[in-house]
Copies of this chain bind each other. A is one copy, B any other.
Amino acid sequence: MNFDFPDELKELRAEAKRFLTAKCQPVVARKILDHGGSFDRALWKEMAAMGWLGASIPEAHGGAGLGHLAVCALAEEIGYAIAPVPYASTVYLGAEALMLYGSEAHKAAYLPKIASGATIATLALAEQPGPVVLDRLKARFADGRLTGAKLGVVDGDSADIAIVVALDARRGASLCVVDLKAAGVKRETVQTVDPTRSHANISFENAKAELLDGARGPADVRRLIDRGAVMMAFEQVGGAQAALDRAVAYAKERYAFGRPIGSFQAIKHKLADVYVAVELARSNAYYGAWALNSSAAELPVAAACARVSASDAGWLATKENIQTHGGMGFTWEGDAHLYYRRAKHLGLALGGSSEWKRRLMGELKSRNTSAMAD
């Protein structure tokens, strides 16, 4: 039994924490909130320089070749720091899609630039509010051209390329890569509950696009989403942990009725429940990381558990952090709402909990009894 990160990745995580504690206090996210600007370019450059953007990209393609567990370790700290950077879009989804399904030419063209920070990538999936039904998407890919419209694409305004989920006549739901500066692509920045992460609606009108040939239908699209969800779960857990830590710190120093508010069971039991939720989420994320890293058949189940657990923990931790802070938690100047906004954004970005619970049960109900009795 060795259900933990290897020591070198623990060291990487500790380094990341040191770096982000120094360079990415909540004031960095607040800058985007108050002044716009899509993301923090200085931070992004430093992340590139440290090899974070290419953590999962093989050295042959300009990456650091640290593997997916390294991305998970970094994601947790990025989540803790609510860093306003397109890391999830670029690394968990963009680079991942190219590595999984891109041709050698695609890999050679894009991965080094992603690793160096020159290219920001994202995934464009949803077309309307509601659960995404892959085989009913309206975006169409044919003959190297893409037509369709995508809603609320994360980092859509700053990304250079998008991996777009579109229907191909032969394969059904497929992935294609599109240069977002190409003709026929229009984007419009849109507002969301988390203004520290930019979003855009993007329309494609006969835009040039290339199929990621390795993805042969909806199951492969799902696999990409599952893998991305595991990495994102670590970011969510990190954010939940940060909210918990801030609530605990405040509860220790804020006094009411002559005692720290953290000595009242109403507060301490609430925070104990948050701690439990965060730990369960972290454990589920670890399982996801194992499935991701070992390409295990359990990935769909592991990803769904990780995502549902992380989304729930993120929501609980960030809303009760506001509540613990009382009035101050509800001011613009206080940071509590930054965590709340981010948690909700991440909890929706790859689909809501209700979608994922259904998917989980779809997997489980097809298992036979004996396989489950573990």
Task: Flag whether A265 is at the interface (Cβ < 8 A).
Answer: yes
Task: Flag whether A264 is at the interface (Cβ < 8 A).
Answer: yes
Segment 212-271 of A: residues with Cβ below 8 Å from B: 264-266, 269
Cα distance, A264 to B264, chains bound together (Å): 8
Segment 123-144 of A: residues with Cβ below 8 Å from B: none
Cα distance, A269 to B265, chains bound together (Å): 9
Min CB–CB distance A246 → chain B (angstroms) = 22
Cα distance, A333 to B269, chains bound together (Å): 31
Write out the residue numbers on chain B whose beta carbons fall within 8 Å of the beta carbon of A265. Answer: 264-266, 269
In the complex, residue of chain B having the shortest beta-carbon distance to the beta carbon of A264: B265
- In the complex, per-residue mask of A263-292: 1 if CB is within 8 Å of any chain B CB, else 0: 011100100000000000000000000000
Cα distance, A135 to B17, chains bound together (Å): 63
Write out the residue numbers on chain B whose beta carbons fall within 8 Å of the beta carbon of A264. Answer: 265
Min CB–CB distance A274 → chain B (angstroms) = 16
Min CB–CB distance A178 → chain B (angstroms) = 40
Cα distance, A266 to B267, chains bound together (Å): 10
Cα distance, A264 to B269, chains bound together (Å): 11
Write out the residue numbers on chain B whose beta carbons fall within 8 Å of the beta carbon of A269. Answer: 265-266
Min CB–CB distance A261 → chain B (angstroms) = 11
Min CB–CB distance A300 → chain B (angstroms) = 26
Min CB–CB distance A295 → chain B (angstroms) = 38
Give chain A's interface residues, CB within 8 Å of chain B.
264-266, 269
Q: Which A-B residue pairs are the 5 nearest by beta carbons? A: A265-B265, A265-B266, A266-B269, A264-B265, A265-B269
Some 5 contacts from A to B, beta carbons below 8 A apart, are A264-B265, A265-B265, A265-B266, A265-B269, A266-B269
